[in-house]
Amino acid sequence: MKRVGYLRVSTAEQRTDRQFDALKDVCDELHIETVSAVCARRPVYERVIRNLRGGDVLVVWDLDRAFRSVVDALTEAEKLRRRGIDFHIASLHVDTRTPAGIFVYTMLSALAEFERRTLSQRTREGLAAARRRGKRLGRPPKLSEWQLHEARLRMSAETITAIAADYDVAPWTLSRSLKRVRSGNPGIPQ
């Protein structure tokens, strides 16, 4: 019987220190993945699940480190259970070997999805409110309005590649920016 730890962060800027410190003493091996939970493929997770054997325990620090949704969490836990593999959420001391553990796990899965969806909804509402107030969202434009005006004047005599090189942008960026200005939407992010 092995206790196999799965650690995940969404971006390279995030760190696994908290998860690592919590699991290093309670797991026989640790596997770290840097990918968003909603990503279609999670190669490390897939390999860990594939290599687990009956009697092993999959250990994660938090529920959201392993699963995308309530349905995903419940489905995966059931697949593991059928293979004789237990699941443990270390931060909450939830162990799926007991009926109480399964119950708590099910409720936590539902709460985690509720929290994720609520956060997503709040973010969308906040962005919509900012747009209604005229706030420009996204990356700042690479080219100023003056540069775009100047580039338009130069287009008859020079190639887009040469003009873009003068502004240190890709020709594609320049042509998109010029199209946006022509369509009357200069404030749309590039």
What is the model's pLDDT at position 190?
Answer: 38
Query: What span, in angstroms and rounded, lies between the C-alpha atoms of 146 and 121?
Result: 38
10 catalytic per annotation: yes
Check 10, 69, 91, 175 and give the catalytic one: 10
Query: Residue 58 — φ and ψ, nearest 5°?
Result: -85, 125
What is the model's pLDDT at position 111?
Answer: 83
Other CB atoms within 10 A of residue 134 CB: 7
The DSSP letter of residue 94 is E
Contacts 24+ apart (CB under 8 A), 88-95: 88/3, 88/57, 88/58, 88/59, 88/60, 89/60, 89/61, 89/62, 89/63, 90/22, 90/23, 90/26, 90/59, 90/60, 90/61, 91/22, 91/61, 91/62, 92/63
Q: Domain spanning 3-114: which CATH class is it, in words?
A: alpha beta
- Alpha-carbon dihedral of residues 160, 161, 167, 172, nearest 10 degrees? 80
What is the model's pLDDT at position 185?
Answer: 57
What is the model's pLDDT at position 5?
Answer: 96
What is the model's pLDDT at position 184?
Answer: 62
What is the model's pLDDT at position 46?
Answer: 93
Residues of the chain with pLDDT under 50: 188-190
User: Two tokens at 39?
Assistant: 């990503």
Strand ranges of the sheet holding 29-34, from the earlier edge strand across to the other edge:
29-34, 3-9, 57-60, 86-89, 94-95
